[in-house]
Amino acid sequence: MERIIEWMSQPWPWYVAGPLITLTMLLLLFAGKSFGVSDTLRTTCAIGGGGKVSDFFDFDWRKQVWNLVFVLGAVIGGFIASTWLQQPEPIPLAQDTVVKLQELGISNPGANYLPEEIFSWDSLFTLRGFVMLVFGGFLIGFGARYAGGCTSGHAISGLSNLQLPSLIAVIGFFIGGLIMTYLLLPVILTL
């Protein structure tokens, strides 16, 4: 058992993780549901009474409770993996990425999952932290619903079903991601 845990605690390579994500999608399909995480944000708005401000949130959210249970599982999975399956080594990032991030003032790239300089409560009260956490989160929620899905709904579920709209959405994800990474982040990170 100890050896199994030790083996599972190694970082999982892409060819293990990718097929397991397909498995996640398939398990949900066979359970009669579909894989799309950002729907939970809309459901939360509906439960919170969003139907009063827009008919977009006026639907029977009870049929979506399963998805909230699914993401609660994701929270538990994150807890299990970081508590009992934690790898001792830093994330093996590409050297070019590490150098670039150090230039931008990130002191220890890969030491943790997230840069502490940005993802901490102290940082939230700085301009840089506020923009990245609050504005960034807002764009995710707004964009995912505008596009009708996020990485799971479009990039995984949609592309698996050969949906052209999903391909257009994924191209959009990359247009936005590249603009942010190359043009905006260098400015925001040095705020």
Partner 1 sequence: MKYFTYLSIGTLFGIIMTKSQAISWYRIYEMFRFDAFHMYGIIGSAVILGIISVALIKKYKFKSTEGMPISFTAKNMSIPRYLFGGTIFGLGWAMTGACPGPIYTLLGTGYSVILVVLLSAILGTLTYGVVKNRLPH
Among 137, 186, 187, 190, binds partner 1 (CB under 8 A): 137
The alpha carbon dihedral of 105, 110, 114, 116 has a sign of negative
Q: Tell me how far, at minimum, the Cβ of 36 lies from partner 1, in Å.
A: 9
**81 is a site residue for partner 1 (CB under 8 A):** yes
Task: Compute the distance between CA of residue 190 and CA of residue 177 in angstroms, rounded to an integer.
Answer: 18
d(CA 52, CA 60): 14
Q: Which is nearer to partner 1, 61 or 118 (CB)?
A: 118
Candidates 5, 6, 8, 102: give the one binding partner 1 (CB under 8 A): 8
Per CB under 8 A, the list member of 5, 11, 62, 105 interacting with partner 1 is 11
Name which of 61 and 169 has its Cβ closer to partner 1: 169
Looking up tokens 């890969």, which residue turns up?
A: 110
Closest separation between CB of residue 190 and partner 1, Å? 14
Find all residues with CB under 8 Å of 131, minimum gap 6, and list them: 188, 191
| 164: contact with partner 1 by CB under 8 A | yes
Smaller CB separation from partner 1, 2 or 176: 176
Number of Cβ within 10 Å of residue 181's Cβ equals 12
